[in-house]
């Protein structure tokens, strides 16, 4: 049985039992593994669950999350690009129900959620009607406003609150009693408030120290507040697997320093009578062993390190001193001095939440029989000194054999590596049948690598989106060639090879002190380009706490560049004391800003903007093609040296890097930044 589905140009054949055990396949509608009855096109590896294929029977729906207008069913190919669901705020590539008038999209997994209006919800907690969602089985990136933890399982959703304000509330938090009696304040009942009471700016109470923003139980008469984490309906004695002795609740509020995380507390702690440890409730369940991408070994929770064992310890994440009188995570490997604050090691941007079992050994994960890189076969070897080097190889990302070259040039001196997209330098592998080049280092890149930019393991990839390129989330540049990606569901993290070479510390010539990688940079700006940094941006900040930051795009700029009219290399320069009348770029002849970085040749007195020197697309390979939604033909990445044609959009000459449509009826050139203004 065949159907002609609106989302695919070939007929789809009915498949009665598609087992993902035989061949992994994902439904292009809901993006979940295909099992059981489905429709598919084996030629294109296009598959749909039977239920997803039958959604076209309801091409328009009226949905309670968007009651203003009906929503229209669309495949991803009908959209400008992969969208973001306005319910779960996750990026999707499958079917969606969309409202063009409001730019509102629901991924079909969210559109099909069963919901019902929650009756009699107290207005003191939220002023709008709420929908109860019963069958939600994925973790939401936004935290519940009540308990400040990720949404999972049944919850309440407000469709009236839209970007940038959202309101999703755990079922447990929504059903909390509005008043409780608590042993720490026996005189008065505690009232549930949507947010903590206003405190003085320099208040040092527990809620202000942890910057709690969720629901609280409060007594205004006694100035007594409890966060939901401290809502003490739990048993007074707790036993957890990560600690051998039971924890007893201290029956009074007190100031203390937590023996596990080393931070101050100002509420009711838990106490281990045998170990004489006083800890926060949240710290009781800290795992004993975890793995983070910042370090190659498992790190273990330690709370018994004696002061006289070492001289001093520095946290390898924030690079501030670790007070070893309190808990920390450190590497148990002999002679390894890796240590981190508890709060640093368990930060959500650093640790993915995986707990390592007792006695875990990283060496047990090594697979001896499987190659660690993508060289599938060594066809021929040569001896260089005492080393045997592969002179001819087969590589997973190319169909033909590649031969190694140690000296000399390619037939085309402007050849670039298909892995890192940089100009070819020796040693490199090349294909004798086509223009494919790989630096030896790029050919030997490992299949999987951890990286401090991301908390999950990353996998080497040469695949790109439907337009023919990818986006590096670290330096915010488009790239072709190899990259490393996270294939965890709903993660979609990817970086290019240049950013993969960066580590968690950096010594940059623009600053006298070493720089350290920081994940949450909200409220700061880059000291090179002055771009305002967002909370999701990774950046390098001064280890000595100077007011100096570098975003990854500026930190990864090459220290030298070449200019067609200059026989010398241009040097990346960080300040300019020239007269204002001299602040011009010698390539585009436009004014330069005095405080921004630029490339400079002291011998010839030539100065260039950063983008004029390295191009708008430094990580796109010259000669490669990619597609856009604004033109019917693919564009080729070119570099104009002497005969520079005018841009089709702005009319100015296309010096250096540009895009070219080589079809005979078009035959025009356009700047990358002008591409978005191009219309058929």
pLDDT tens across 396-412, in order?
A: 999 999 999 987 655 45
Looking at residue 342, what is its pLDDT? 93
Looking at residue 230, what is its pLDDT? 66
**Contacts for 632 with CB less than 8 Å, ≥ 6 apart:** 680
Looking at residue 80, what is its pLDDT? 47
Question: Which uninterrupted H or E stretch holds 231?
Answer: none
pLDDT band with cut points at 50, 70 and 90 for residue 546: confident
pLDDT band with cut points at 50, 70 and 90 for residue 2: confident
pLDDT band with cut points at 50, 70 and 90 for residue 325: confident
Percent of the chain with pLDDT over 90: 26
Looking at residue 96, what is its pLDDT? 87
Looking at residue 130, what is its pLDDT? 82
Looking at residue 410, what is its pLDDT? 55
Residue 250, pLDDT > 50, answer: yes
Look up the pTM and report it: 0.67
CA distances from 70 to 163, 396, 574, 649 (A): 20, 47, 54, 38
Spell out a b/e string for 206-231, using b for 16 or more CB atoms within 10 Å of the CB, else e.
Answer: bbbebebebbbbbbeeeebbbbbebb
pLDDT band with cut points at 50, 70 and 90 for residue 106: confident
Q: CA-CA-CA-CA torsion for 475, 480, 486, 487, nearest 10 degrees?
A: 150
Looking at residue 499, what is its pLDDT? 93
Residue 357, pLDDT > 60, answer: yes
Percent of the chain with pLDDT over 70: 88
**How do residues 435-458 score in pLDDT, each as one tens digit?**
899 999 999 999 999 999 999 999
**How do residues 568-622 score in pLDDT, each as one tens digit?**
889 999 988 888 888 899 888 889 988 899 999 988 888 999 988 888 888 888 8
Looking at residue 279, what is its pLDDT? 87
CATH of domain 237-284: 3.30.60
Residue 79, pLDDT > 70, answer: no
- The CATH fold assigned to 375-444 is Wheat Germ Agglutinin (Isolectin 2); domain 1 (3.30.60)
pLDDT band with cut points at 50, 70 and 90 for residue 21: very low
Q: DSSP code of 172?
A: H
CA distances from 231 to 67, 209, 283, 386, 555 (A): 37, 18, 15, 68, 45
Q: DSSP code of 332?
A: -
Q: Which of 134-143, 208-217, 271-280, 415-424 has the highest mean pLDDT?
A: 415-424
- Of 148-157, 371-380, 446-455, 634-643, least confident by mean pLDDT is 148-157
CA distance linking residue 398 with residue 324, whole number of Å: 52
Looking at residue 378, what is its pLDDT? 92
**How do residues 127-174 score in pLDDT, each as one tens digit?**
788 888 876 766 666 778 888 888 777 888 887 777 666 788 888 888
472 vs 265, which has greater pLDDT?
Answer: 472
Closest CA to 26 of 350, 470, 489: 489
411 exposure class (CB count in 10 Å sphere: 0-12, 13-18, 19+): exposed
Residue 235, pLDDT > 60, answer: no
**How do residues 38-75 score in pLDDT, each as one tens digit?**
888 887 878 888 888 888 878 888 888 888 888 888 87
Instruction: Report, as an integer, the average pLDDT of 213-220.
Output: 83
- The CATH fold assigned to 2-54 is Wheat Germ Agglutinin (Isolectin 2); domain 1 (3.30.60)
Looking at residue 635, what is its pLDDT? 92
């Amino acid at each position: 049985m065949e159907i002609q589905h609106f989302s695919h140009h070939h007929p789809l054949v009915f498949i009665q039992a598609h087992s993902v055990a035989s061949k992994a396949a994902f439904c292009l509608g809901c993006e979940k593994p295909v099992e059981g009855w489905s429709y598919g096109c084996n030629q294109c590896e296009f598959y749909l669950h039977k239920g997803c294929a039958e959604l076209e029977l309801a091409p328009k729906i009226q949905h309670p999350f968007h009651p203003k207008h009906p929503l229209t069913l669309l495949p991803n190919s009908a959209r400008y690009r992969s969208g973001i669901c306005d319910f779960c705020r996750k990026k999707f590539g499958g079917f969606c129900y969309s409202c063009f008038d409001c730019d509102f999209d629901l991924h079909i997994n969210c559109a099909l959620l069963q919901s019902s209006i929650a009756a009699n919800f107290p207005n003191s907690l939220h002023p709008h009607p709420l929908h109860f969602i019963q069958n939600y089985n994925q973790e939401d990136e936004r935290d519940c406003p009540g308990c400040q933890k990720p949404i999972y399982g049944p919850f309440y959703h407000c469709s009236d609150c839209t970007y940038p304000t959202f309101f999703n509330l755990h079922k447990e938090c929504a059903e909390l009693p509005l008043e409780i009696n608590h042993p720490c304040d026996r005189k008065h009942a505690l009232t549930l408030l949507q947010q903590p009471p206003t405190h003085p700016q320099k208040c040092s109470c527990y809620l202000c120290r942890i910057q709690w923003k969720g629901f609280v139980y409060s007594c205004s008469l006694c100035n007594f507040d409890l966060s939901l984490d401290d809502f003490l309906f739990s048993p007074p004695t707790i036993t957890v697997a990560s600690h051998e002795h039971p924890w007893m609740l201290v029956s009074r509020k007190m100031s203390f320093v937590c023996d596990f995380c080393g931070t101050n507390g100002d509420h009711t702690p838990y106490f281990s009578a045998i170990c004489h440890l006083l800890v926060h409730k949240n710290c009781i369940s800290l795992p004993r062993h975890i793995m983070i991408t910042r370090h190659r070994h498992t790190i273990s929770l330690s709370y018994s390190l004696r002061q006289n064992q070492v001289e001093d310890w520095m946290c390898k994440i924030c690079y501030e001193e670790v007070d070893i009188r309190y808990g920390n995570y450190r590497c148990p490997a002999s002679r390894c001095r890796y240590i981190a604050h508890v709060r640093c090691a368990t930060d959500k941007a650093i640790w993915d939440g995986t707990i390592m079992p007792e006695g875990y050994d990283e060496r047990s994960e090594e697979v001896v029989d499987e190659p660690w890189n993508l060289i599938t076969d060594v066809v021929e070897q040569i001896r260089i000194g005492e080393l045997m080097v592969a002179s001819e190889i087969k590589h997973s990302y190319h169909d033909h054999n590649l031969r190694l070259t140690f000296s000399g040039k390619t037939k085309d001196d402007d050849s670039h590596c298909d892995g890192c997209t940089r100009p070819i330098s020796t040693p490199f592998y090349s294909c004798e049948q086509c223009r494919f080049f790989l630096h030896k280092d790029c050919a030997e890149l490992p299949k999987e690598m951890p990286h401090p930019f991301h908390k999950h393991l990353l996998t080497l990839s040469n695949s790109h989106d439907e337009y023919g390129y990818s986006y590096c989330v670290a330096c915010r540049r488009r790239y072709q060639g190899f990259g490393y990606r996270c294939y965890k569901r709903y993660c979609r993290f990817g970086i290019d090879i240049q950013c993969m070479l960066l580590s968690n510390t950096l010594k940059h010539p623009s600053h006298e002190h070493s720089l350290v990688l920081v994940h949450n940079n909200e409220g700061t700006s880059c000291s090179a380009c002055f771009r305002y940094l967002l909370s999701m941006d990774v950046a390098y900040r001064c280890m000595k706490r100077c007011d100096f930051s570098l975003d990854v795009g500026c930190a990864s700029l090459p220290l030298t560049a070449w200019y067609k009219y200059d026989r010398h290399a241009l040097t990346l320069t960080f300040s300019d004391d020239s007269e204002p009348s001299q602040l011009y770029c010698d390539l585009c002849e436009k004014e330069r800003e005095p405080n921004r970085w630029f490339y400079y040749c002291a011998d010839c007195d030539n100065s260039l903007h950063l983008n004029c020197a390295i191009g708008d697309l430094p990580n796109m390979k010259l000669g490669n093609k990619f597609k856009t939604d604004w033109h019917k033909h693919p564009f080729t990445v070119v570099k104009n040296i002497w005969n520079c044609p005018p841009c089709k959009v702005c009319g100015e000459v296309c010096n250096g890097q540009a895009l070219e449509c080589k079809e005979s009826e078009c035959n025009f050139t356009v700047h990358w930044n002008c591409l978005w203004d191009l219309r058929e």
